[in-house]
C-alpha cells in the first residue's frame, strides 16, 4: 500500500525511521514529508522524501537547547 509519514522534528523520527525502511522493503510505497530545516532527519533510498519550506533556520531551532 501507500504510506505518508509526517514525523515531528527531533522526536519520534529516530524510532520511526527503521519501521519506515522495513515497510518500504516489504513493497510499500512510502513518502516522508520533512521540513527543509530539521534535526537528524537523514534520508535513504528506501523511501521518497518531500521537503516543505519553514521560516526557521537551524540556528533558531538550536537556540532553546
Structurally, how many domains does the chain consist of? 1
Give residue 50's domain range. 2-62
pLDDT in tens, 24-39: 999 999 999 888 877 6
Q: 42-55: per-residue pLDDT in tens?
A: 667 888 988 888 88
What pTM does this model have? 0.73
CA dist 44 and 24 (Å) reads 11
Q: How many CB atoms lie within 10 A of CB 47?
A: 19
Q: How far apart are the first and last CA of the chain?
A: 38
- Tell me if 24 sits within 8 A of 30, measured CB to CB: yes
Amino acid at each position: 500500500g501507500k504510506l505518508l509519514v509526517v514525523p515531528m522534528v527531533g522526536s519520534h523520527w529516530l524510532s520511526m525511521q527503521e519501521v519506515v525502511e522495513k515497510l518500504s522493503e516489504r513493497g510499500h510505497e512510502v513518502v516522508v514529508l520533512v521540513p527543509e530545516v530539521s534535526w537528524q532527519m537523514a534520508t535513504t533510498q528506501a523511501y521518497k522524501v518531500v521537503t516543505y519550506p519553514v521560516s526557521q533556520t537551524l540556528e533558531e531551532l538550536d537556540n532553546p537547547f
